[in-house]
Structure 1
Amino acid sequence: MGFSSFTFLSFLLLLPFSSPSPSPSNLPILSFHEAYNHLFGDANLLLLNHGKSVHLHLDERTGAGFLSQDLYLHGFFSASIKLPADYTAGVVVAFYMSNGDMFENNHDEIDFEFLGNIRGKEWRVQTNIYGNGSTNVGREERYGLWFDPAEDFHQYSILWTDSRIIFYVDEVPIREVKRTASMGGEFPSKPMTLYATIWDGSSWATNGGKYKVNYKYAPYIAEFSEFVLHGCTVDPIEQVFPKCDLTQISEASIPNNITTAKRTKMESFRRKHMTYSYCYDHLRYKIPPAECVLDPQEAKRLQRFDPVTFGRGRRHHAKHRHSSQAEFTSV
């Protein structure tokens, strides 16, 4: 007997259900005027293509930035970004969420930070979170990428729910932060505004401030387009914020987890391209923060990359090392 339609249907029903991945393709794309306001930088912010694209310039005078018109409690936030090329030491491009203007001493933050580099070295990408003013605990991770982010536009996205935060690059999840009891109030939980900025981070961004911004290469131009702001907006006057159900604000599906296939891609990315994780930084934390789940293989790989930071050695015993560049291979 052949493979009947009934058998085929039964087979499909046994497959694990998976929601579609968050993507600008199934979410509304907004123009700058619909979603954002100018933050700083005067003429260093330039609108193009009827407000569908934005150029942020950094020169000797100033950087530039913009912010969302609305305040959000959870959602999916995305932009297509093309970074400055050539010598970019000290240049910081940031795409992030924050409520520091509302909660000065106990703010929350979710960060994509792009840290420039000297010529011949690829841009480095850093993710970080703060909750309830927990700036004394840095939760940074840094990565190389499998492409040159200055050659073309690539999509960078943040999914933020009440239970997890997921960072995406071109729809590939690169980091998942789950809310745990051990984190307490240090998981971002208050409404935030979305920001995009370019600025001079000479004091720290490249090799701890060893290489500064060289303005003979200015202006440095970061390009933004394909803006997605898909979340629950809240009134900043409200003192009690309502629960946000992302599935009710649009017909588009926003998953609350990572599918098996996407998790495989995430693990591959982290294995090939992650160069720093706070969880394994013995110089900063003698005991890893409570939410860290340590992976012996990940620890061993990072220790080979930097035996001082990720090992048990002492700094004065470390010899000068040249870090190998991350392979430009797809995940």
Structure 2
Amino acid sequence: MALPPNGHHAKMLVLQIVMIVALVLSSTAYGAGNFRDEFEPTFGDHRVQMSGPGTRDLSLSLDKFSGSGFRSKKEYKYGRIDMQMKLVPGNAAGTVTTLYLSSDQSTGVHDEIDFEFLGNVSGQPYTVHTNVFSEGQGNREQQFHLWFDPSLNFHTYSIVWNPRLIMFMVDETPLRVFRNYENHGITFFPKKQYQRIYASLWNADDWATQGGLVKTDWSKAPFVANYRNFNIDTSANGSWKNHDLDANSRRRLRWVQKNYMIYNYCSDWKRFSQAFPPECKHSKFN
């Protein structure tokens, strides 16, 4: 954990206590969902395993023949999704574990909201890759490291999607907020299409770890990622409808982005040498 600047030790201590409380709450607040009722396998056959009381546990595995995945049986437009996940342990280089929302990709103008977890060699941190697509256009990536090892225990990963914003959270700590700036004439925001919830574990060693320099070590296969205790809230009176940053979560967001953000498309001058995407001039005010 990065050391706080002089004069801010007390404030940082309070922030750390709040984060610990959020972690404890996140491990117990969800868990009503039944995977067999709400989800269906998309690929991988026997590599998708549902188990536990009420089939509230699910594992995905990856071997040299195939990865695996599942998706929600229903489509959603706005809501909050929480999923507890424990990522591939040990040498996970080349693997990608995902949790995301997507509309029908065959249309060529799909919407998508991505959580992707890029594995690394043993002892090196996972990269949390986030992205947003609207009507087939993406290129809105932000990447982070985490302040814990996500392969040791379950942690809660959440996506809040309402007409005003998309928020990515880990154990109630916001990593990223992507806002709808249509009142500023910016039309890039997924708001027209219904989306399903997807999750997968697959091999991407051509790009996932250090730009593809480190390949998957198949002697460590099968690789396994675990999911449990999901919650899907699309209720008309759900708190997701008005979810936004308060003073405390804004401080936590700034702490994460200062200490753990490793890539922000709105700072990539080489990639956007002609002009940054229009929302970049507003996003710093999150």
TM-score range, shorter chain: 0.7 to 0.9
TM-score, normalised via structure 2 length: 0.84
Structure 1 residues 146 and 164: CA distance shift in structure 2, 3 A: same
Does 2:247 correspond to 1:260?
yes
Unaligned runs of 5+ in 1: 1-20, 233-245, 297-331
Report the counterpart of residue 306 of structure 1 in structure 2.
Answer: none
* Percent of paired sites with the same residue: 32
Report the counterpart of residue 70 of structure 1 in structure 2.
Answer: 74
Correspondence for 1:120 among 115, 119, 123: 123
Report the counterpart of residue 186 of structure 1 in structure 2.
Answer: 188
Query: For 2:76, what is the secondary structure of its paired residue?
Result: strand
Report the counterpart of residue 54 of structure 1 in structure 2.
Answer: 58
Structure 1 residue 29: deviation in Å?
2.1
Amino acid at match of 1:187: F
Query: For 1:216, what is the secondary structure of its paired residue?
Result: helix
For residues 282 and 264 of structure 2, the distance between their equivalents in structure 1, rounded to whole angstroms, comes to 10
Structure 1 residue 120: deviation in Å?
2.0
Correspondence for 2:210 among 203, 207, 210: 207
Query: For 1:293, what is the secondary structure of its paired residue?
Result: helix
For residues 66 and 183 of structure 1, the distance between their equivalents in structure 2, rounded to whole angstroms, comes to 37
Report the counterpart of residue 105 of structure 1 in structure 2.
Answer: 108
Structure 1 residues 82 and 171: CA distance shift in structure 2, 3 A: same
For residues 224 and 278 of structure 1, the distance between their equivalents in structure 2, rounded to whole angstroms, comes to 29
The structure whose Rg is larger is: 1
Deviation readout 1:285-315 (Å, 9 max, x if unpaired): 012211013799xxxxxxxxxxxxxxxxxxx
User: Contact (CA 8 Å) 1:35, 1:229: kept in 2 or not?
Assistant: no
Structure 1 residues 27 and 106: CA distance shift in structure 2, 3 A: same
User: Contact (CA 8 Å) 2:88, 2:225: kept in 1 or not?
Assistant: yes
User: Contact (CA 8 Å) 1:133, 1:186: kept in 2 or not?
Assistant: no
Structure 1 residues 118 and 290: CA distance shift in structure 2, 3 A: same
Report the counterpart of residue 155 of structure 1 in structure 2.
Answer: 156
Structure 1 residue 154: deviation in Å?
0.3
Aligned residues: 257
Structure 1 residue 186: deviation in Å?
2.5
Structure 1 residue 183: deviation in Å?
7.2
User: Contact (CA 8 Å) 2:30, 2:229: kept in 1 or not?
Assistant: no
Query: For 2:92, what is the secondary structure of its paired residue?
Result: coil
For residues 262 and 279 of structure 1, the distance between their equivalents in structure 2, rounded to whole angstroms, comes to 22
Runs of 4+ in 1 over 3 A off after TM superposition: 21-28, 182-185, 252-255, 293-296
